[in-house]
């Protein structure tokens, strides 16, 4: 019975790694303490898979921060600014690359394919010196072996590593990253040799870029890389793992003819078309790792359907060469359903988290081998049937309202420049208006208040008065800093999606359904199991309260429908766009209620619009069309004088700039500082943008405080490509994760820099 898991969550069932990392970063615990937590987590994961009967158990999928950064460390590709002097890379260099330090900024972070996980982007160039500088893959293999568990070491494949990198600062943008293949393969060979010597019989190379649109030159790099590695891997079974989408026919051809490779792994959940390729031609004598259990969602597998897919693949690959696997690493799903005490039994019966998926994979492998657990399969069928027929899932009224949207385009009545004029008459803002993105630091005290209110330890009156006091403090700080458009700081919100989901119908919430977003940061995606509607106003009371405390404009703060969708575990029984339109209608009601309550500036965050973009270009237009349409639905009914803002973060926007313009927001604020003004190059290249725009002037993901000069320099760079009358000045993202000791000086410098430039502009006039 052959079963395999592509990868497993690292944070631990109760986020043990997160707390250990943060304690270490704060200087409250030692490297040894951190290493102990990590060792315990790894061994419990390996033992759990071993006890579940999994044959091919992955190692080296654990990470202190990110698997791509681990590969950068393995290759010794440390950017010069970290003044690394060689030898084995230690935690301090490693975490400086990930998070920056007092003197140098962090490396860029960006989305891992179309997931909500972020990886640290390697910075490479012709001068990068590579050396074998982190022996992590080998030491983790040995660690598992000492526990009596033989694992499959997992490495990010050399070609995907280079394709996911970027040219370092000062390197020509046209530099061919693939030209470095010859420099990194010797290190891969050293790693493979050590793994072989340690007793490994299998090795897994993750090459997920194979599912993207690749040109002939990129495909040729795969062929030459694996030809070069062939002698190094001889005697080992080599698995090339792909995931997240269908693999294009050309790439499939390249993959299945790579030298020295014994096995291929495919995502058969998001890659249903790959099934046709496999059925029409699969190389004889090779192993097929069939990813039939969804690694990216929390729904229980349809075991009967998976089994029939597997049985049809047995005919193609042969009984002894078919391995049951997950569609991708389970790091993109929650850890263990066992820790969910609050979910009701009905919903719980519909779900499977990472630990349950391991069991599903094994049950399928056993069934294939003729040892089907009839009771387990019957319980699964019953749960699926109850989900299909549950009255909690369907709401006729919502279905009708969403169907009625089909006929219209939902655009505002006047164009953006006319609206901006009308808004300016009413708001009377200075040039280069300053604002922040929404959240202010969430102090320990504030979290305590929310926790106690949730646990009914304090009354509603006490809770409301504590939150009001916090809002008033945040308003006062912003007025003292002389910020133009204020926010209430969101002290009442736990998370920008969860907060809304808790007030919408059709959503369920977990207690421990955490998923890693980056580093130690985890998110707890809501579960959308049914039709979505908004029974009552969600934010109006707090926005009204905040506006009453100041004469300056106070932004209403909402999360947009596409972000709520992309940051949730979404029902898989109807198309995603249908669920999105339902959420858009719920947010539309909220926007209209805020406007009626006198809120003149309303921000509808679409932080995650870009990350839902399908990996293949052929599918972009359809997604962007319904995603942008959903955003417009939320605000098409407001008056010209109501200013609609949106915010987007951490993404490469250049390829979707026309869709961003089509969203037709009045002002858009964009995360920009870590991606090094890549965004501005779009405008340099002549894209006409007439709405307000605020590219972030400093990185809030780093504790570093930017100087006034630095920010002024950034603003000047922006003014070189953007009109003075449309530019806004703001940080990159919300300030929730920062401390006040960082936020106040950073915002002080931001406002000083803005005033400095206003003065310069006035005197130039």
Query: Which residue positions form the known binding site?
Result: 18, 116, 437-439, 490, 521-522, 567, 605, 647, 649, 658, 662, 671, 733
Which residues carry a binding-site annotation for Zn(2+)? 647, 649, 658, 662, 671, 733
Q: Using the structure block, give the residue that is written with the tokens 């999360």.
A: 559
**What is the distance between the alpha carbons of residues 608 and 561, in angstroms, rounded to a whole number?**
10
Angle value at C-alpha 206, between 200 and 212, nearest 5 degrees: 165
**What is the distance between the alpha carbons of residues 477 and 743, in angstroms, rounded to a whole number?**
10
Q: Which residues are catalytic?
A: 701
Q: Which residues make beta-bridge pairs with 204?
A: 154, 239
**What is the distance between the alpha carbons of residues 56 and 144, in angstroms, rounded to a whole number?**
13
What are the φ and ψ backbone dihedral angles of 390, each rounded to 5 degrees? -65, 130
Q: Which residues make beta-bridge pairs with 522?
A: 516
120 and 126 in contact (C-beta within 8 Å)? no
CA 679 to chain centre: 19
721 and 697 in contact (C-beta within 8 Å)? no
Sign of CA dihedral 303, 309, 315, 320: negative
Burial class (CB in 10 A: 0-12, 13-18, 19+), 752: middle
What are the φ and ψ backbone dihedral angles of 399, each rounded to 5 degrees? -60, -45
- Locate 548 and state its tokens: 């009453």
DSSP character at residue 168: P
What are the φ and ψ backbone dihedral angles of 738, each rounded to 5 degrees? -95, 170
332 and 117 in contact (C-beta within 8 Å)? yes
Q: At a CB cut-off of 8 Å and minimum separation 6, what does 305 contact? A: none
**What is the distance between the alpha carbons of residues 633 and 523, in angstroms, rounded to a whole number?**
27
DSSP character at residue 4: B
What region does 75 belong to: left with phi over 0, alpha with psi -120 to 50, or beta?
alpha
Which residues carry a binding-site annotation for L-methionine? 437-439, 490, 605
Nearest of 694, 686, 634 to residue 664 by alpha carbon: 634
The alpha helices in 615-672, defined as continuous H runs, are: 620-635, 657-663
**What is the distance between the alpha carbons of residues 212 and 191, in angstroms, rounded to a whole number?**
27
What region does 100 belong to: left with phi over 0, alpha with psi -120 to 50, or beta?
left
**What is the distance between the alpha carbons of residues 518 and 521, in angstroms, rounded to a whole number?**
5
Which residues carry a binding-site annotation for 5-methyltetrahydropteroyltri-L-glutamate? 18, 116, 521-522, 567
**What is the distance between the alpha carbons of residues 89 and 76, in angstroms, rounded to a whole number?**
8
What's the Rg (C-alpha) of the chain?
Answer: 26
């Amino acid at each position: 019975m052959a079963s395999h898991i592509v990868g497993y969550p690292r944070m631990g069932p109760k986020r043990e790694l997160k707390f250990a990392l943060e304690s270490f970063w704060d200087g409250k615990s030692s490297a040894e303490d951190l290493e102990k937590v990590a060792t315990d987590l790894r061994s419990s994961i390996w033992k759990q898979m071993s006890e579940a009967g999994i044959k091919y158990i992955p190692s080296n999928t654990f990470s202190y921060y990110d698997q791509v950064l681990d590969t950068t460390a393995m290759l010794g590709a440390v950017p010069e600014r970290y003044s690394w002097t060689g030898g084995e890379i230690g935690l301090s260099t490693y975490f400086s690359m990930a998070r920056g330090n007092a003197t140098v900024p962090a490396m860029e972070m960006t989305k891992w394919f179309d997931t909500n996980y972020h990886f640290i982007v390697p910075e490479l160039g012709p001068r990068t010196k590579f050396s074998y500088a982190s022996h992590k893959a080998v030491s983790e293999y040995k660690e598992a072996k000492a526990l009596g568990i033989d694992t499959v070491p997992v490495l990010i494949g050399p070609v995907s590593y280079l394709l996911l990198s970027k040219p370092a600062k000062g390197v020509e943008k046209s530099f061919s990253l693939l030209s470095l293949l010859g420099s990194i393969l010797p290190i891969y060979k050293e790693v493979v040799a050590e793994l072989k010597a340690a007793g490994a019989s299998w090795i897994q190379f993750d090459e997920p870029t194979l599912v993207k649109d690749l040109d002939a030159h990129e495909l040729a790099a795969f062929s030459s890389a694996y030809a070069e590695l062939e002698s190094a891997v001889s005697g080992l079974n080599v698995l090339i793992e792909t995931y997240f989408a269908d693999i294009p026919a050309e790439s499939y051809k390249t993959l299945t003819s790579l030298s020295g490779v014994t096995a291929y792994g495919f995502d058969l959940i998001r890659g249903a078309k790959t099934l046709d390729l496999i059925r029409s031609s699969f190389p004889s004598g090779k192993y097929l790792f069939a990813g039939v259990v969804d690694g990216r969602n929390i729904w229980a597998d349809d075991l009967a359907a998976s089994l029939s897919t597997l049985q049809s693949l047995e005919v193609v690959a042969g009984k002894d060469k078919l391995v049951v696997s997950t569609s991708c690493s389970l790091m993109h799903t929650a850890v263990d359903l066992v820790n969910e005490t609050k979910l009701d039994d009905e919903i719980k019966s519909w779900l499977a988290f990472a630990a349950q998926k391991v069991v599903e994979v094994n049950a399928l492998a056993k069934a294939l081998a003729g040892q089907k657990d009839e009771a387990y399969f019957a319980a699964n069928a019953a749960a699926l049937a109850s989900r299909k027929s549950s009255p909690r899932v369907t709401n006729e009224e919502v279905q009708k309202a969403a169907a009625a949207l089909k006929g219209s385009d939902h655009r505002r009545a006047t164009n953006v420049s006319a609206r901006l004029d009308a808004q300016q008459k009413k708001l009377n803002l200075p040039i280069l208006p300053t604002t922040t993105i929404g959240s202010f630091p969430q102090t320990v005290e504030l979290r305590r208040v929310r926790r106690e209110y949730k646990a009914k330890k304090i009354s509603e009156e006490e809770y409301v008065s504590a939150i009001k006091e916090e809002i008033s403090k945040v308003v006062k700080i912003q007025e003292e800093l002389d910020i133009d458009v204020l926010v209430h700081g969101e002290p009442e919100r736990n998370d920008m999606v969860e907060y809304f989901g808790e007030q919408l119908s059709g959503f369920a919430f977990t207690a421990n359904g955490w998923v890693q977003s980056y580093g130690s940061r985890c998110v707890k995606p809501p579960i959308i199991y049914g039709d979505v509607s908004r029974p009552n106003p969600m934010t109006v009371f707090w926005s009204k309260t905040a506006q009453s405390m100041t004469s300056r404009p106070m932004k209403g703060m909402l999360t947009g429908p596409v972000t709520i969708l992309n940051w949730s575990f979404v029902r898989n029984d109807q198309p995603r766009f249908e669920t999105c339109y339902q959420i858009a209608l719920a947010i539309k009601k909220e926007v209209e209620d805020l406007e009626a309550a006198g809120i003149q500036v309303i921000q509808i965050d679409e932080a995650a619009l870009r990350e839902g973009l399908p990996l293949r270009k052929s599918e972009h237009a359809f997604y962007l069309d319904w995603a942008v349409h959903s955003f417009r639905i939320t605000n098409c009914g407001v008056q010209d004088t109501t200013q609609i803002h949106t915010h987007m973060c951490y993404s490469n926007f250049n390829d979707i700039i026309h869709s961003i313009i089509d969203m037709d927001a009045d002002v858009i604020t964009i995360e920009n500082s870590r991606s090094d003004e890549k965004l501005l190059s779009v405008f340099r290249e002549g894209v006409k943008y007439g709405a307000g725009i605020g590219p972030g002037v400093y990185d809030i993901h780093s504790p570093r405080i930017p100087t006034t000069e630095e920010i002024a320099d950034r603003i000047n760079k922006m003014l070189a490509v953007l009109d003075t009358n449309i530019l806004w000045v703001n940080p990159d993202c919300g300030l929730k994760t920062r401390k006040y000791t960082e936020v106040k000086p950073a915002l002080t410098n931001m406002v000083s820099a803005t005033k400095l430039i206003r003065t310069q502009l006035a005197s130039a006039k």
